[in-house]
Amino acid sequence: MKEEKEEKKEKIVTAAGMIAGQSGAVLSVDGGHTLLGRLEALGIRPGKRLRKVNSSFMQGPAVFDVEGCSIAIGFGMANRIQVKIDS
């Protein structure tokens, strides 16, 4: 329990691992030039704030609110986005 509390202070997960309703800031995207470019074009780049809208089921896509704009991201891509969850 104690460990969990400490973790909460600075919790880093992938966007795919976020729980519905959680918010956080994008830390980095692990991917090639193409993926980075495509995500960037939709406004997802380091520093941007995300809120997860739905929880994906069966590794389906998840929907994120990015500064008032809804973006659906496939599971594999979301797995490559590192997010620092708000404490």
Partner 1 sequence: MKILLVGNPNVGKSVVFSRLTGVHVLSSNYPGTTVGYTRGFIRFKNEQSAVIDVPGTYTLDPTCEAEKVARDMLEEGDVIINVVDATNLERNLYLTFQLLERNIPMVIALNLWDETKHRGVHIDLDKLREELGVPIIPTVAVTGEGMKQLVDALPQAEAPAHTARNSEERWKAVGHVIDQVQHITHRHHTWRERISDASVRPLSGGIIAFAVLAGIFLGVRFISESIIQYAMDPLFNRLWAPVILRLSDLMGGSGLLHDIIVGSIGSSEINFVESFGLLTSGLYVPFAMVLPYILSFYLALGILEDSGYLPRLAVMVDTLMHRFGLHGYAIIPTMLGFGCNVPGIMASRVLESERERFIVATLISIAVPCASLQAMIFGLVGARGGRYVILVYGVLLAVWLVLGFILRRAVKGFKPELLIEIPPYRLPSLPTVIKKLLVRIRGFIVEAVPIVLGAVLVVNILYSFGIFNAIADAVSPVVTTLLGLPKESTAALAIGFLRKDVALGMLAPLELTAGQLVVGSVVLAMFFPCIATFIVLLRELGFSGLLKSTGIMVLAALLTGGILNLILN
Contact positions vs partner 1 (CB under 8 A): 20, 34, 37-43, 45, 53-61, 63, 67-77
Comparing CB distances to partner 1, the nearer of 1 and 58 is: 58
Would you say 11 or 53 has its CB closer to partner 1? Answer: 53
Nearest approach, Cβ of 2 to partner 1 (angstroms)? 33
Angstrom CA distances, 58 to 22, 52, 71, 82, stand at 19, 16, 19, 21
- Block residue for tokens 């404490």: 87
- What's the start-to-end Cα distance of the chain, in Å? 16
Closest to partner 1 by CB, 34 vs 87, is 34
